[in-house]
């Protein structure tokens, strides 16, 4: 049997290792702006909830505690404007990456089915399609959503359409109207929409990011749409693996059955921590302030060093270019002790951009600013 891994692209981060070594050797050490991993403390209210639930000898359930489901429906109603949600409209997942990677398989997709995702995107959408043996298809998220002529996506065999607004890596935000048009198109063609909204709380400029579950987008019906949310970024919980789905009850009911058989349970202490995190807006505001300051400092410094920053209205990244190969930029910055992600990790269309994460401590951001001056 050919190994399953042969269906997958090379793990891109391995290619960055020599540049990481070069940046690490710089006097004063590396400023790592490559991976978007949180560096600030887990909020105290969340740590306390985790600790209080640490005596959890029994198995948790895949659907989560009633308290967790209340927290998920309550938060989605309050924060996303999604009215009338029941417990059947929510499902916890073990961080959103596993969901993205295994969703096509859990939906039963395979040979002959197509899975579409933006041309510039988080690489795991493609991985998920390939793990299932389905065909990955890219589309132009920006032009497709505007309905511009010549940007149509062929619906033949298309079973799953990924949206990601705010976008990783570009930070672009789809407007309500763009989301509405995409959902209407998908419903017309019977294509299931999964909307990855893990950066929804991290909008900086322009219109506030909106969920696909907003009534002006979905018309108050969740048929054929599911939003994916993660606490990794908004609550510094990447280490906890806490994420959840909200949307179409029929789709989530089916996933629940599959995931029960597969034992895909969120640990009980993490469920309790999620309830605490979703019940507290204060830590989200504090974390936003930290990121806003780092974003402003890095943006000014990179622009001063000859970079053009595109989009980047939201998310945890600056999408920047010096109109050269991304690997030349990565190499040059690594010699100054700064590591960024090459744009081609997110698709060939990114080959002249780099992605600069602002998930570094204030001290490391100051070091980067000094090195770029
Ligand atoms: C667009 C997007 N989706 C999903 C994830 C996965 O996040 P997690 O597995 O921590 O929930 C990431 C992480 O960087 C991401 O950028």
Torsion from C-alpha of 313, 318, 324, 328, nearest 10 degrees: -170
CA of residue 165 to ligand 1 center, whole Å: 12
Q: Ligand 1 pocket test: which of 165, 228, 232, 346 has the largest number of ligand atoms within 8 Å of its C-beta? A: 232
CA of residue 226 to ligand 1 center, whole Å: 16
Helices (H), 37-161: 44-52, 66-75, 96-106, 124-132, 141-146
Q: What is the pLDDT of residue 151?
A: 63
Residue 96: CB within 6 Å of ligand 1? yes
Q: What is the pLDDT of residue 152?
A: 74
Contact between residue 52 and residue 184 where contact means Cβ atoms under 8 Å apart:
no
CA distance 88 to 66: 11
Six token digits for residue 36? 């978007």
pLDDT in tens, 318-345: 999 999 999 999 999 999 999 999 999 9
**DSSP per residue over 55-97, as a string?**
---SPPPSS--HHHHHHHHHHIIIII---S--GGGEEEESSHH
Question: If pLDDT is split at 50, 70 and 90, which confidence band does 23 have?
Answer: very high
Measured from the Cα of 233, ligand 1's closest atom is 10
- The sign one gets for the Cα dihedral 181, 182, 187, 188 is positive
Q: Residue of the nearest CA to atom 6 in ligand 1?
A: 97
CA distance 253 to 4: 28
Residue 169: CB within 6 Å of ligand 1? no
CA of residue 169 to ligand 1 center, whole Å: 11
CA distance 45 to 210: 27
CA of residue 286 to ligand 1 center, whole Å: 21
Q: Ligand 1 pocket test: which of 38, 97, 167 has the largest number of ligand atoms within 8 Å of its C-beta? A: 97
Query: What's the fold here for domain 45-280?
Result: 3.40.640
Nearest one of 138, 135, 130, 128 to 103, comparing CA atoms: 128
Task: Please name the helix (run of DSSP H) or strand (run of DSSP E) that holds residue 335, with its range, or none.
Answer: helix 326-335
CA atoms within 13 A on the CB side of 154: 8
Q: Residue 7: what are its φ and ψ, rounded to 5°?
A: -80, -15
Residue 236: CB within 6 Å of ligand 1? no
CA of residue 75 to ligand 1 center, whole Å: 19
CA of residue 317 to ligand 1 center, whole Å: 13
CA of residue 149 to ligand 1 center, whole Å: 31
Whether this model's pTM surpasses 0.95: yes
CA distance 106 to 103: 5
CA distance 197 to 214: 12
Residue 168: CB within 6 Å of ligand 1? yes
Options 3.55.50.30, 1.20.1530.20, 1.10.3720.10, 3.90.1150.10; CATH of 4-41+282-372? 3.90.1150.10
Orientation angle between helical segments 268-278 and 66-75, nearest 10 degrees? 30
Residue 243: CB within 6 Å of ligand 1? yes
Measured from the Cα of 100, ligand 1's closest atom is 4
pLDDT of 154 over the 60 cut: yes
Residue 256: CB within 6 Å of ligand 1? no
pLDDT of 149 over the 70 cut: no
Residue 228: CB within 6 Å of ligand 1? no
Domain ranges (residues) in the chain: 4-41+282-372, 45-280
pLDDT in tens, 273-317: 999 999 999 999 999 999 999 999 999 999 999 999 999 999 999
- Give the distance, in angstroms, between the CA of residue 228 and the centroid of all CA atoms in the same chain: 8
Instruction: Work out the end-to-end distance of the chain between its first and last CA atoms, rounded to an integer number of angstroms.
Output: 54
CA distance 317 to 202: 10
Six token digits for residue 77? 């109603």
Contact between residue 321 and residue 352 where contact means Cβ atoms under 8 Å apart:
yes
Residue 36: CB within 6 Å of ligand 1? yes
Six token digits for residue 351? 């080959």
CA of residue 373 to ligand 1 center, whole Å: 32
pLDDT of 266 over the 90 cut: yes
Percent of the residues in the chain that have a pLDDT greater than 90, as a whole number: 94
- In the block, tokens 């570009």 appear at 170
* Strand-pair partners of 90: 246
**Which three-class secondary structure state does DSSP give residue 196?**
strand
């Amino acid at each position: 049997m050919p190994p399953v891994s042969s269906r997958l692209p090379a793990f891109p981060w391995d290619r960055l290792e020599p540049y990481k070594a070069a940046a690490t050797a710089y006097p004063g050490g590396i400023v790592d702006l490559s991976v978007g991993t949180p560096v600030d403390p887990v909020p105290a209210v969340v740590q306390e909830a985790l600790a209080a639930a640490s005596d959890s000898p029994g198995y948790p359930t895949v659907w989560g505690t009633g308290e967790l489901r209340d927290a998920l429906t309550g938060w989605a109603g309050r924060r996303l404007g999604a009215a009338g949600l029941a417990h059947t409209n929510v499902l916890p997942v073990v961080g959103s990456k596993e969901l993205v990677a295994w969703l096509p398989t859990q939906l039963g997709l395979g040979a002959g089915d197509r899975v579409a995702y933006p041309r510039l995107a988080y690489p795991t959408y493609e991985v998920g399609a390939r793990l299932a043996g389905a065909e990955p298809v890219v589309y132009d998220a920006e032009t497709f959503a505007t309905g511009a002529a010549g940007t149509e996506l062929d619906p033949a065999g298309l079973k799953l359409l990924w949206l990601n607004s705010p976008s990783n890596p570009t930070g672009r935000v789809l407007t309500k109207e763009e989301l509405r048009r995409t959902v209407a198109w998908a419903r017309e063609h019977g294509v299931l929409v999964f909307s990855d909204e893990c950066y929804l709380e991290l909008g900086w400029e322009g219109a506030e990011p909106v969920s696909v579950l907003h009534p002006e987008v979905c018309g108050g019906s969740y048929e054929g749409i599911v939003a994916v949310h993660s606490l990794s970024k908004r609550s510094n919980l990447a280490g906890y693996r806490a994420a959840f789905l909200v949307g179409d009850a029929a789709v989530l009911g089916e996933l629940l059955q599959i995931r029960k058989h597969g034992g895909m349970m969120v640990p009980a202490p993490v469920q309790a921590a999620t309830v605490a995190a979703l019940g507290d807006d204060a830590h989200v505001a504090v974390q936003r302030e930290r990121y806003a300051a780092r974003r402003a400092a890095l943006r000014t410094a990179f622009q001063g060093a000859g970079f053009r920053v595109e989009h980047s209205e939201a998310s945890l990244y600056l999408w920047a270019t010096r109109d050269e190969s991304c690997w030349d930029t990565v190499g040059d910055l690594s010699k100054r002790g700064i590591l960024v992600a090459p744009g081609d990790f997110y698709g060939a269309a990114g080959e002249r951009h780099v992605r600069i994460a602002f998930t570094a401590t204030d001290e490391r951001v100051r070091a980067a600013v000094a090195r770029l001056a």
